[in-house]
């Protein structure tokens, strides 16, 4: 099968980890007789430097014409003082909007070889395996008005938390569909005791559930969910929630596994072109040192194969290779017990490629 993949390396360790993911994808293609064509585009700070803006038109075109987008990370101290409209993060927000990527999937799974490095008790994190589905294009981050004003000689700031029924409906459907191919359990997280948008959220999720009665649905308030994620993370299968709550809960959940360097994500929408990226940022503190953990980016590439291209076997082969190298003791510095024992980004990547065979 032939697939065109847009590669947007971005900033900091972004280029290092996307290079690793490409290496793995090239080898998977070779082993299965697929043809993957990679088209590179600028995004974030590097795009600001070279083209004057965080999402050049050319990048948008390459992305929209692809079968899937592999992204590294954007941002860094060099661009922190730029105004909002010309910041690296704006590139990400814009590409999500442009491709209508409204559903963000973040699987949280503990690797048995790494359980001892979790900050939590072994018996709590063993066998954690759930996915957070976060609504990505609505809510507080995008609602208008968003402004500052002077009232009675004092500055006040306003953000708007707005959700339309249609936005809730489509994300709820994603969650129920995901649950069907998992363990069939959805927890919808809201704050329906105080927020009107959450009451609409809850009613709409209940309505959509009527068509998915084979899936078990429960509702949980976000503050309770924050506790349960730590207290009994194995109780979850699919968590669906709105933009802000999802942002916070997914970062919280990421700590269950021990390192940001392991966690993949997928953002999907109505067009069929998904965007796949590691959860971590551009890690300016280790950029250019060949120390970044490439597994989150490699695992994101596996999500692209599975969710974007329907290549489940190939995706599982990559996941199995990751488990194998971890079981064999390969550790980049973020997950190594002693920094002396750490392998480099390229050594880790080569080990994964070898484990594919
Ligand atoms: P970060 O995720 O870049 O780094 C946090 C810590 O984790 C650092 O100590 C870093 O060295 C470490 N780390 C992250 N990924 C790693 C990997 N693959 N291997 C080994 N260690 C890893 O978050 P931070 O420091 O808050 O943000 C740095 C920059 O990244 C900022 O400009 C921020 O805006 C941007 N960022 C971009 C994101 C994206 O592109 N989606 C997401 C989060 C942050
Ligand atoms: Mg975040």
Q: Where are the domains of the chain?
A: 1-102+260-357, 119-257
DSSP state of 79: G
pLDDT digits over 296-308, tens only? Answer: 999 999 999 999 9
The pair of structure tokens assigned to 140 is 């507080």
- pLDDT exceeds 80 at position 18: yes
Are 1-102+260-357 and 119-257 equal in CATH topology? yes
Nearest ligand, CA 132: 2
Give the residue from 7, 10, 12, 11 showing the smallest Cα distance to 23.
Answer: 7
Structural contact between residues 73 and 280, judged by C-beta atoms closer than 8 angstroms:
yes
Q: Rounded to whole angstroms, what are the CA distances from 345 to 111, 158, 301?
A: 19, 43, 16
Nearest ligand, CA 288: 1
- pLDDT exceeds 90 at position 114: no
pTM of the model: 0.92
**Active-site residue among 100, 129, 159, 251?**
251
The pair of structure tokens assigned to 117 is 């490095």
Q: Which residues line ligand 1 (CB under 6 A)?
A: 13, 17, 73-76, 89, 92, 260-261, 277, 280-286, 292-293, 296, 332, 334
Give the residue from 64, 66, 16, 12 showing the smallest Cα distance to 39.
Answer: 66
**Matching residue, tokens 């082993």:** 31
Q: Coil, helix or strand for 137?
A: coil
Averaged pLDDT, 264-281: 94
* 197 is an annotated ligand-binding site residue: no
* 334 is an annotated ligand-binding site residue: no
Give the residue from 174, 48, 32, 111 showing the smallest Cα distance to 322.
Answer: 111
Tell how far the Cα of 283 is from the centroid of ligand 1, in angstroms.
4
- CATH number for 119-257: choose from 1.20.58.100, 3.40.50.920, 3.90.1150.10, 3.40.718.10: 3.40.718.10
Q: Rounded to whole angstroms, what are the CA distances from 113 to 7, 202, 257, 353?
A: 30, 38, 11, 19
- Element spanning 349, H or E: helix 345-356
Phi then psi dihedrals of residue 199, to 5 deg: -65, -40
- pLDDT exceeds 90 at position 315: yes
Tell how far the Cα of 210 is from the centroid of ligand 2, in angstroms.
32
Q: Coil, helix or strand for 195?
A: coil
pLDDT digits over 178-230, tens only? Answer: 999 899 999 999 999 999 999 999 999 999 999 999 999 999 999 999 999 99
Give the residue from 130, 98, 141 showing the smallest Cα distance to 275.
Answer: 98
**Active-site residue among 191, 276, 306, 334?**
191
Residue with CA nearest ligand 1 atom 34: 75
* Residues facing residue 317 across a β-bridge: none
Using pLDDT thresholds of 50, 70 and 90, give the confidence band for residue 64. Answer: very high
- Above pLDDT 90, what percent of the chain? 85
210 is catalytic: no
CATH code for 1-102+260-357? 3.40.718.10
**Matching residue, tokens 């038109």:** 57
**Active-site residue among 39, 51, 100, 141?**
141
Residue with CA nearest ligand 1 atom 5: 283
Query: Given the CA of residue 296, which atom of ligand 1 is nearest to it?
Result: 18
Nearest ligand, CA 92: 1
Residue 163 confidence (pLDDT): 98
* 251 is an annotated ligand-binding site residue: yes
Tell how far the Cα of 247 is from the centroid of ligand 2, in angstroms.
5
* 19 is an annotated ligand-binding site residue: no
Report the alpha-carbon distance of residue 199 to residue 194 in Å, rounded: 8
- pLDDT exceeds 90 at position 255: no
Structural contact between residues 260 and 296, judged by C-beta atoms closer than 8 angstroms:
yes
- pLDDT exceeds 80 at position 174: yes
Q: State the pairing for strand pair 274-278/264-268.
A: antiparallel
Residue 75 confidence (pLDDT): 97
* Residue 221, Cβ density class (10 Å: 0-12 exposed, 13-18 middle, ≥19 buried): middle
* 153 is an annotated ligand-binding site residue: no
Centre a 10 Å sphere on the Cβ of residue 312 and count the other Cβ atoms it contains. 13
223 is catalytic: yes
């Amino acid at each position: 099968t032939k697939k065109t993949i847009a590669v947007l390396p971005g900033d900091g360790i972004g280029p290092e980890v996307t290079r690793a993911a490409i290496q793995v994808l090239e080898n998977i293609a070779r082993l299965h007789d697929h043809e993957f064509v990679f088209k590179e585009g600028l995004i974030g700070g590097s795009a600001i430097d070279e083209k004057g803006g965080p999402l050049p038109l050319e990048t948008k075109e390459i992305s929209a014409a692809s079968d899937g987008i592999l992204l590294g990370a954007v941002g860094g101290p060099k661009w922190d003082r730029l105004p909002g409209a010309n910041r690296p993060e704006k590139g990400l927000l814009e590409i999500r909007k442009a491709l209508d990527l409204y559903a963000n999937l973040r699987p949280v799974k503990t690797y048995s070889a790494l359980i001892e490095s979790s900050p939590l008790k072994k018996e709590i994190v063993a066998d954690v395996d759930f996915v957070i589905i976060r609504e990505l294009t609505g809510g507080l981050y995008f609602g208008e008005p968003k402004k500052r004003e002077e009232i009675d000689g004092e500055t006040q700031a306003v953000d708007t938390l707005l959700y339309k029924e249609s936005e809730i409906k489509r994300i709820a459907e994603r969650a129920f569909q995901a649950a069907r191919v998992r363990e069939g359990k959805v927890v919808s997280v809201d704050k329906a005791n105080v927020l009107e948008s959450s009451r609409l959220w809850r009613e709409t999720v209940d309505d959509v559930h009527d068509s998915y009665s084979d899936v078990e649905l429960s509702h949980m308030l976000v503050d309770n969910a924050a506790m349960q994620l730590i207290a009994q993370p194995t109780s979850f299968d699919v968590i669906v929630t709105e933009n802000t709550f999802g942002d916070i809960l997914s970062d919280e959940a990421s700590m269950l596994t021990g390192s940001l360097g392991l966690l993949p994500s997928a953002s999907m929408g109505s067009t069929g072109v998904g965007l796949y990226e590691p959860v971590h940022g551009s890690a300016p503190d280790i950029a250019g040192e060949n120390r970044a953990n490439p597994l989150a980016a490699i695992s994101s590439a596996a999500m692209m194969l599975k969710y974007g291209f329907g290549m489940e076997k190939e995706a599982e082969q990559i996941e199995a290779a990751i488990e194998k190298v971890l079981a064999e003791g390969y550790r980049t510095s973020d997950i190594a017990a002693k920094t002396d024992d750490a392998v480099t980004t390229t050594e880790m990547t080569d080990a994964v490629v070898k484990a594919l065979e």
